[in-house]
Amino acid sequence: MLRRSVLGLTAAGALAAVLPFTAPAMAQYPDRPLTIIVPWGAGGGTDATARIIGSVLEKELGQPVNVVNRTGGSGVVGHSAIAEAEPDGYTLGIATVEIGMMHWQGLTDLTWENYTPLALMNEDPAGVQVAADSEYDTIEALLDAIEAGEPSTFRASGTGQGGIWHLAIAGMLNDRGIDPAKVPWVPSEGAAPGLQDLVAGGVNIVPCSLVEARALIDAGRVKSLAIMSSSRADLFPDVPTLEEAVGSDWQIGAWRGIVGPSGLPEDVATRLTEALEAVYNSEEYASFMQGQGFGVRWAAGQEFADFMAQSNTALGDTMKAVGLAQ
């Protein structure tokens, strides 16, 4: 260890002697490692997305990019950590759709306005999944059965109480003029346990994204009836959009984007947006997202800000309509 330290110190000395003459651009951003804060745990989709963005961004910026998980509190903790970071461009974060939901539930005061929007990188629309042996083959038949049936005939799961997929189905029912309370929500620790319970027969509907249901759809255990998006998914082109199937324009999805704390210097934000655009267009990012089955969507700067504002209002309206907002 000592030898290592001595070597390191010598190297540092040598470097310090040479650097002033060779690198006049030392002060130029970025001159030290960056950190990307992930509000969700290692192993999840957001974590994976952040890590691939981080590893490509590293090459773009020529500085190491550390991906750091700050988990818990349904994303509140991590989102707060991003907002509270020094606005110097060295701490960024990956914001998720929950930023437009938490404050309506009264969990935090944070909204999308507490961040400098850099780039929207991904969006996965919600789908409507039922077990493969379910008697309903179309979304229309399912919705009719929900409307005609007694309350609590159907139960849905796939995320926590008031989570994004809970809103997806509640909003869909609301949009069709059905009382969302007719389909009670069974909270779960994410889509995977929800889907498992769907196959085990514990619940009837899981309105998660198609990516999350992919393995079980491929295995022939689960079928997807519709996707709550404006266009069909590349992954499952046979699944109709809600609009095609029943003429509803209800759309919702989980999105992820890179943001900084509010008040990021303009030149830093520009540099980062450029680098992120290069990441978005890179071969690695495209093939990774395609491999995972994640949808990609790009928006930068003001466009991303408008997107978040719109997402925020839509989510708020739905949550008020179904009684999840405080």
Tell which positions 47-106 bind another protein, by CB under 8 A.
47-48, 51-52, 54-55, 66-74, 76-77, 80-81, 105
Among 87, 240, 292, 325, binds another protein (CB under 8 A): 292
Q: How far is the C-alpha of 184 from the C-alpha of 326, rounded, in Å?
A: 19
Q: Which is nearer to another protein, 136 or 288 (CB)?
A: 288
Using CB atoms within 10 A of its CB, is residue 171 exposed (0-12), middle (13-18) or buried (19+)?
A: buried
Among 234, 262, 263, 323, binds another protein (CB under 8 A): 323
Min separation Cβ 2 and another protein, Å: 7
The amino acid at 89: G
| SS3 labels along 64-79 | CEEEEECCCHHHHHHH
Tokens 């493969």 belong to which residue?
132
Min separation Cβ 77 and another protein, Å: 4
Which residues, 6 or more positions from 148, have their beta carbon under 8 angstroms from its beta carbon? Answer: none
Q: Which is nearer to another protein, 69 or 134 (CB)?
A: 69
Min separation Cβ 166 and another protein, Å: 9
Q: Which stretch binds another protein (CB under 8 A): 116-124, 250-258, 264-272, 288-296?
A: 288-296
- By CB under 8 A, the residues from 149 to 188 that bind another protein are 152, 155, 157, 160-163, 181, 184-188
Min separation Cβ 5 and another protein, Å: 5
Min separation Cβ 80 and another protein, Å: 5
Min separation Cβ 93 and another protein, Å: 12
| SS3 labels along 83-134 | HHCCCCCCEEEEEEHHHHCCCCCCCCCCCHHHEEEEEEEEEEEEEEEEECCC
Among 293, 295, 311, 315, binds another protein (CB under 8 A): 293
Q: Which is nearer to another protein, 162 or 299 (CB)?
A: 162
Q: Which is nearer to another protein, 163 or 253 (CB)?
A: 163
Q: Which is nearer to another protein, 43 or 247 (CB)?
A: 43
Query: Does the footprint of another protein cover residue 3 (CB under 8 A)?
Result: no
**Contact indicator for 224, 202 with CB cutoff of 8 Å:** no
Among 41, 240, 265, 301, binds another protein (CB under 8 A): 41
- By CB under 8 A, the residues from 198 to 217 that bind another protein are 199-203, 214-216
Q: How far is the C-alpha of 295 from the C-alpha of 4, rounded, in Å?
A: 46
Residue 176 DSSP symbol: T
Min separation Cβ 14 and another protein, Å: 9
Which contacts of 300-307 are long-range, i.e. CB under 8 A and separated by 24 or more positions?
300/117, 300/118, 300/119, 300/120, 300/273, 300/276, 301/117, 301/118, 301/269, 301/273, 302/117, 303/120, 304/117, 304/118, 304/119, 304/120, 304/257, 305/112, 305/117, 307/120, 307/255
Residue 234 DSSP symbol: S
Min separation Cβ 11 and another protein, Å: 6
